[in-house]
Amino acid sequence: MDQFVLDIGDDPARAGDEVVLFGEAARGEPTAFDWAQAADTIGYEIVTRIGARVPRRYVGAGVR
């Protein structure tokens, strides 16, 4: 199944709002490593388990 549920706390979000799943730690954004620690695994497993049918959009400088 291609489903993903993310608890964003008490802050309301609407369609079109930006939500960062993997970001830069320096900006206070969660990294793949942060997710891995929470899931008791490694960062590589976090980013490779997202299926190919999920579209990706890379935003910002320095992303390759």
Q: Where are the domains of the chain?
A: 21-53
Cα–Cα distances in Å, from 50 out to 12, 15, 19, 21, 54? 25, 21, 16, 12, 7
pLDDT for 26 equals 93
Each residue's pLDDT tens digit, 17-54:
888 888 889 999 999 999 999 999 998 888 887 777 87
Alpha-carbon distance 15 to 62, whole Å? 27
Enter the pTM of the model.
0.62
